[in-house]
Amino acid sequence: MRLSTKSRYGVRALFDIAFHSEGGPVSVKDISHRQGVTPRYLEQIFHKLKGAGIVKSIRGPRGGYRLSRKPEEISVGDIIRAMGETIEPIFCARPARGRRKCRWESKCPAQVVWTEAGRRLTDYLNSVSLAGMCQMARDLKVLQPMDHQTGAWT
């Protein structure tokens, strides 16, 4: 399985909101600066996330995006699915609509392995929430919260 940049950046952008928002909106400009993703690309990502009901947009000078639900209620799997991706490692593990079944389906032990790998990966990505990622960042001391008043890292 290889995730698209939209899925990877979508996870990073929503983690950024969860980590830095304190409940208020976070500007695309701030996310872009911290995550190294262009504002234009982030807007494309947020369009999909908004359509999936994961974020809400706030207009105006202090506008931006905020999460539609609590960080503990949004999983990495939710974000990947919002980008229109599947988590299956190979196509024959779960053929897409309109695609023919694999001719080896009933005789292929490898397909059993790929299907189980996809199930386990899906379960894991569904178990990792944005809140969990924020806690990981704090535990690893990778990031420190930003002081929104001064714009400085604490």
pLDDT mean over 40-48: 97
What was the pLDDT predicted at 149? 47
For the chain, which residues make up each domain, given as ranges?
Answer: 5-153
Residue ranges of the alpha helices (H) in 21-153?
Answer: 28-35, 39-51, 76-82, 109-127, 130-140
Q: Are strands 146-147 and 152-153 parallel, antiparallel or unpaired?
A: antiparallel
What was the pLDDT predicted at 96? 55
Residues 26/34, Cβ–Cβ less than 8 Å: no
pLDDT mean over 8-37: 92
CATH T-level topology, domain 5-153: Arc Repressor Mutant, subunit A (1.10.10)
pTM exceeds cut of 0.75 = yes
What was the pLDDT predicted at 111? 82
**Alpha-carbon dihedral of residues 45, 50, 54, 56, nearest 10 degrees?**
120
For residues 60 and 126, which has the higher predicted lDDT (pLDDT)? 126
Q: Quick: pLDDT tens for 77-117.
A: 999 999 998 877 776 655 555 556 677 767 888 888 888 89
What was the pLDDT predicted at 143? 62
